[in-house]
Amino acid sequence: MKELYTSMDSSRIGFYKSVLDEAGIVCFIQNEIGAQTLNVISPIFQPTLCIVDDSRFEEAVELLKPHHYPEETASSDWTCPKCGEDNPAGFEVCWNCGTEAAQQAPVVKS
């Protein structure tokens, strides 16, 4: 038995368990009810996802990696069509005038 992931977020632990179950990796959640019952925030009592077969540990880590560290969506900086201000890619509205990024006119290259 090897511990794979510990968190107070029981829904995330449950999701990770379902991913491993789907892949046929036998696993269980240790302290699943203990942390909620005791209402204590301590790593000792946190729900912990464990796998039974230690030899599949690396496989389990690789399966969960895209869910644990999701890739950021690629986007680029944009210029506001209303005021001409440059905005970072993560901004959904212009920081200067409030115009939404979705309202940008499409760029036409000639």
Residue ranges per structural domain of the chain: 2-68, 72-103
Termini Cα distance of the chain: 62
| pLDDT digits (tens), the chain, 110 positions | 999 998 888 889 999 999 999 999 999 999 887 656 666 666 677 889 999 999 999 999 999 998 876 655 567 888 998 999 999 888 889 989 989 887 544 444 33
49 burial (CB, 10 Å; 0-12 / 13-18 / 19+) is buried
pTM above 0.75, yes or no: no
The phi, psi pair for 36, rounded to 5°, reads -70, -40
Which of 36, 25, 110 lies closest to 63, judged by CA? 25
Domain 2-68 belongs to what architecture?
2-Layer Sandwich (3.30)
